[in-house]
Amino acid sequence: MHKREKMTRAWTRESQKHLGRRKYGGQSKAAKSILPLLPKGTKIVEPFAGHAHVSVAALKSGKFSEAVLGDLNCKALTWVKKNRKTDKIKMKCQDWKKTVAQNDGPNTVFVFDPPWKAETSCYTAYRGNCKQVADEIVEKSKSLRGGSVLLLGDTPEHRKIACSRSSKFHCKTITVDSKIFGNKSEWKEIVAIKK
């Protein structure tokens, strides 16, 4: 086995342990399945943008005319700015709550895709009470004036959070096929759309 293949297998095992079945950069493969499920609007906002694959695909498709990307990871936003040259994207290196507060409106669709730890449903950028942060994200997304979508790894804990009968979300499961460093993988993801 080559050194790169060993590193890839170790990285894949580690990412599965921390992210459930979801993979780093996986939304690049999932975006085409997510796009038809997004509610109508003119502005798409990703408070946890990362590399913003969903927003970029939504702009390219013509479904939205502008995008706002927020994230605490300024390096990811810098990558987006360098590689996705468009005047239709505004970027904010800030906390998700601030991004939401600045952009809530009836024609806005929020796409929440925080890097959850599958086993704890914890947003990984925050220390302390992870359950409280997860609950804040879900509760805030329910009260927005515009549309709201949660993207979650398909785990029992995430189904409990977003897909229970008392939830204000309609859940769809998508299957994502990906290839990382030559290794094929497949995982399921929940797309929870505010009713």
Question: pLDDT tens digit string along 158-192?
Answer: 888 888 887 899 999 999 887 766 778 788 889 99
Question: Which residue did the predictor score with more confidence, 186 or 24?
Answer: 186
Q: Considering its fold, how many domains does the chain have in total? A: 1
- Classify each residue of 1-32 as buried b or exposed e, where b means 16 or more C-beta atoms within 10 Å of its C-beta: eeeeeeebeeebeebbebbbbbbeebbbbbbe
Packed helices 130-142 and 96-103: angle between N→C axes, nearest 10 degrees: 10
pLDDT band of 21, cuts 50, 70, 90: very low
| 32: containing domain | 3-194
In this prediction, residue 81 carries a pLDDT of: 86
Average pLDDT, the chain: 80
Calculated CA dihedral for residues 123, 127, 132, 136, nearest 10 degrees = -50
Residue 30 has pLDDT above 70, yes or no: yes
pLDDT band of 132, cuts 50, 70, 90: low
Number of residues that this document lists for the chain: 195
- Quick one: average pLDDT of 97-114? 95
In this prediction, residue 161 carries a pLDDT of: 81
Task: Indicate the pairing of strand 183-194 with strand 169-180.
Answer: antiparallel
In CATH, what number is assigned to the domain containing residue 22? Answer: 3.40.50.150
| Rounded Cα distance, 195 and 193, in Å | 6
In this prediction, residue 11 carries a pLDDT of: 36
Question: Which residue did the predictor score with more confidence, 136 or 91?
Answer: 91
In this prediction, residue 108 carries a pLDDT of: 98
In this prediction, residue 165 carries a pLDDT of: 80
In this prediction, residue 178 carries a pLDDT of: 73
pLDDT digits (tens, 9 = 90+) for 43-80: 999 998 988 999 999 999 999 999 999 998 888 888 88
| Rounded Cα distance, 171 and 149, in Å | 10
